[in-house]
Amino acid sequence: MIELKDATKKLGNFTLGPLNVNLEKGSYSVVLGPSGAGKTLFMEIIAGLSDLDSGTIRINGRDALDLPPQRRSIGFCYQDYALFPNMDVFENIAFGLRLRKHRDIKPKVGKIARVMGIQDLLKRDVKDLSGGEKQRVALARALVIDPDILLLDEPLSALDKASALQLIKELKRIHRSRPKLTIIHITHDFDEALSLAEKVLVMNNGRILQSGEPREVFNKPKDPFVASFVGLKNIYKGWVGSHDGVPVFETGDLKFRVITDCEGDAYATIAAHDVIISIEPSETSARNHFEGIVKDMEDKGMLMELTVDIGVDLTVTITKESALRMDLHDGKRCHVLIKATAIHVFKA
Amino acid sequence: MTKAKGFVAVFIIMGTVIVLFVVLPIFGIGIATPIHSLLETARDAEVISSIKLTFLSGLFATLFAVLFGTPLAYILARYRFPMREVVESIIDLPVVIPHSAAGIALLTVLGRNTTIGHAFSVIGIHFTGTAIGITTAMAFVSVPFYINAAKEGFASVDRKLEKTAYTLGASGSRAFFSITLPLAKNHLVSGAIMMWARAISEFGAIVILAYHPMVAPVLVYERFESYGLAYSRPVAWLIILISLVAFTSLRLMTRRRRH
């Protein structure tokens, strides 16, 4: 388990924290945030490569504040892999074992190389490897010493799509096969987080804005930054009032029937796939009903992304099939239905 | 395109002037020196011993800089600390001060009657008129060449490689010796060669601290002063030749290792 309490670190003009983080042993956490959010510094603090200015850090129940990186049992994979260019693949992987004066270095390196599918590369110079191969070597080098914690800094960002998908599979397999290994993975890509994370920590400007299960963070962001970062298109600022005793979110001239405990200034988000479009007005269980005009249509492969003007711009995704059947086009009038439960409201 | 061609042509002509400017004197001294007098000079005991003295003193000066300068270069490349730029400027000083003035400065602190000079003389080390003095003067004027090259070499090694080594269990010194040093090696070697070349060509500081025993540049000067151009020329040509051969072969050796 990794536990940070009120942890802060100043680096020039940048301040990280105060951070309060709890990561379960054996969990897969993804730290999500734009570049410059402080994600790498966060990782380096866990690794002991950077000292805290204040606060505490505990790893597996032990105070780790003064524990040097050599004794934290950590595997660290940097974004650009940081393979040692003066050594071949075998020597890179064997590096940590040699320091531990392991016997059986050869079989151990051979075993992890087979697991990572790089057994044929062992004699190769690291400069001659592809990005995906380098990433596997870096992972093998980190995993061969059997660490308690694996830190991955943007592991997929430099890979082409096919290699990235392959590596996601690989990471899932590593997570499954090592139930005690705590994995922390940095990314700026929400889809990557969704496919791997058990827990997501959204970070910006040195702070963790929200953490939780990825679905929950996506569906119920607590902050406009989180909402836009996880890819929500419909974020509205307004205020929550009461209408006949039921809560209503107002933005401009629009009123949305919502379910919330919030009052006063607030934000509302609506997931684009939770909106229903119809041509004829129809009686449904949806509490919010607007008339709108299709302003824009964007082809997204299987899906069609519409921008509908209902007084504010609302992004809606529907299948291409539906768009064709309803003969939707720019300027077409339509009806928009949104369930009160599909609108997520949080305090401004 | 025509315009660019004319532009490049002008640059080539200007560049040629510089190349000729360097090559002509060296070519000229070679032509002006009869081969028999060159061979005669190469057998001259005084010349041989002064060349030996020059090269060895330069070597020791360089070894001294490698031993003590490498850690400094590493610290300058890796850490930001107050006064860092001051330290860097101090290291560069020998390049900008006239070398005769450097010699006077060295003599002022290391001469027989100075505190430091006296302290060293107790353990049998004298700086004036000795090979140690020559080595000291050479080290003083040429050390920036090594430090700056080494600093650049260490700066070129990605900090993340060291950090990764730490997480894999390497101590600071282990990471330095198995990752950083091997990766900076080419810079260090080429810096050492540059320093050595600069050291063996030193005249100004040496002539003040230790006229005797005579290093090759001082010998050339002395023969010129005492006997004139014709008599000093073969010595000068011989030293130029040896320096060229030594420098070129060292360069070639390191280049081959790089590939």
- Distance in angstroms (rounded) separating the CA atoms of residues B136 and B102: 11
Residues A52 and A161 occupy one common structural domain? yes
Question: Is cis: bond before A18, omega within 30 of 0?
Answer: yes
Residues A59 and A103 occupy one common structural domain? yes
Q: What angle do CA B35, B38, B41 make, to 5 degrees?
A: 155
Residues A202 and A256 occupy one common structural domain? no
**Is A80 in Cβ contact with B165 (below 8 Å)?**
no
Q: Which two tokens stand for residue A298?
A: 């964007």
Would you say B167 and A69 are in contact if contact means Cβ atoms under 8 Å apart?
yes
Give B72-86 pLDDT, tens digit per residue: 999 999 998 999 999
Give A129-158 pLDDT, tens digit per residue: 998 899 999 999 999 999 999 999 999 888
Which ipTM was obtained for this model?
0.81
Give A198-229 pLDDT, tens digit per residue: 999 999 999 999 999 988 888 889 989 998 88
Average pLDDT over residues A22-28: 94
- Distance in angstroms (rounded) separating the CA atoms of residues B58 and B54: 6
Interface test with A, best of B158, B159, B164 (most A CBs within 10 A): B164
Give A67-108 pLDDT, tens digit per residue: 999 999 999 999 999 999 999 999 999 999 999 988 899 999
Domain with residue A63: its CATH number is 3.40.50.300
Per the structure, the complete domain to which residue A98 belongs is given by 2-223
SS3 of B95, please? helix
Residues A120 and A219 occupy one common structural domain? yes
**Is A82 in Cβ contact with B161 (below 8 Å)?**
yes
How many of the other CB atoms lie within 10 Å of CB of A3? 17
Residue A247 lies in a domain: yes
Chain B nearest CA to A50, separation (Å):
10
**Is A47 in Cβ contact with B163 (below 8 Å)?**
yes
Residue A229 lies in a domain: no
A80 inside 8 A of chain B by CB: yes
Residues A172 and A298 occupy one common structural domain? no
Partner residue opposite B169 with nearest CB, options A47, A70, A84? A70
Residue A9 lies in a domain: yes
Partner residue opposite A78 with nearest CB, options B164, B169, B171? B164
Q: Give residue B3's pLDDT.
A: 65
Q: How far does CA A112 lie from the centroid of its chain?
A: 28
**Is A86 in Cβ contact with B169 (below 8 Å)?**
no
Structural domain total, chain A? 2
Residues A299 and A250 occupy one common structural domain? yes
Q: Give residue A190's pLDDT.
A: 83
Residue A228 lies in a domain: no
Note the residue count of chain B. Answer: 259
CA atoms within 13 A on the CB side of A291: 5
Residues A197 and A238 occupy one common structural domain? no
For tokens 């004036």, name the residue: B128
Q: Give residue A102's pLDDT.
A: 86
Average pLDDT over residues B214-236: 94
Residue A111 lies in a domain: yes
**Is A86 in Cβ contact with B183 (below 8 Å)?**
yes
* Mean pLDDT for chain B overall: 93
DSSP A125: B
Would you say A203 and A4 are in contact if contact means Cβ atoms under 8 Å apart?
no
For tokens 């590369």, name the residue: A121
- Distance in angstroms (rounded) separating the CA atoms of residues B173 and B71: 11
**Is B158 in Cβ contact with A82 (below 8 Å)?**
yes
Q: Where are the alpha helices (DSSP H) in A38-179?
A: 39-47, 89-99, 105-115, 131-143, 161-177
Residues A161 and A310 occupy one common structural domain? no
**Is B171 in Cβ contact with A96 (below 8 Å)?**
no
Interface test with B, best of A84, A87, A134, A151 (most B CBs within 10 A): A84
Residues A160 and A296 occupy one common structural domain? no
Calculate the CA dihedral of residues B75, B79, B80, B81 and round it to 10 degrees. -60
Chain A nearest CA to B163, separation (Å):
7
Average pLDDT over residues B181-200: 94
Domains of chain B, CATH where assigned: 45-258 (1.10.3720.10)
Partner residue opposite A99 with nearest CB, options B160, B168, B183? B168
Contacts of B170 in chain A (CB under 8 A): 70, 95, 99
- Distance in angstroms (rounded) separating the CA atoms of residues A344 and A219: 7
Residues A159 and A41 occupy one common structural domain? yes
Question: Of A223, A242, A265, which closes a domain?
Answer: A223
Q: Give residue B1's pLDDT.
A: 53
| pLDDT at residue A263 greater than cutoff 90 | no
- Three state DSSP letters for A218-248: HHCCCCHHHHHHCCCCEEEEEEEEEECCEEE
Chain A nearest CA to B69, separation (Å):
23
Chain B nearest CA to A226, separation (Å):
30
Q: Give residue A43's pLDDT.
A: 93
Q: Give residue B4's pLDDT.
A: 78
Question: Of A191, A223, A255, which closes a domain?
Answer: A223
Question: Is cis: bond before A85, omega within 30 of 0?
Answer: no
- Distance in angstroms (rounded) separating the CA atoms of residues A74 and B173: 19
Contacts of A80 in chain B (CB under 8 A): 158, 160
Contacts of A72 in chain B (CB under 8 A): 167
Question: Of A223, A250, A278, which closes a domain?
Answer: A223
**Is B161 in Cβ contact with A84 (below 8 Å)?**
yes
Residues A57 and A189 occupy one common structural domain? yes
Residues A102 and A29 occupy one common structural domain? yes
List of residues 6+ apart from A277 with CB closer than 8 A: A306, A308, A316, A318, A322, A326, A328, A334, A335, A336, A337
A99 inside 8 A of chain B by CB: yes
Chain B nearest CA to A74, separation (Å):
6
Q: How many CB pairs under 8 A join A and B?
A: 57
A141 inside 8 A of chain B by CB: yes
| pLDDT at residue B259 greater than cutoff 60 | no
Give A324-339 pLDDT, tens digit per residue: 899 999 999 999 999 9
Q: Give residue A195's pLDDT.
A: 86
Domain with residue A333: its CATH number is 2.40.50.100
- Distance in angstroms (rounded) separating the CA atoms of residues A43 and A187: 12
| pLDDT at residue B258 greater than cutoff 70 | no
Partner residue opposite B171 with nearest CB, options A70, A78, A86? A70
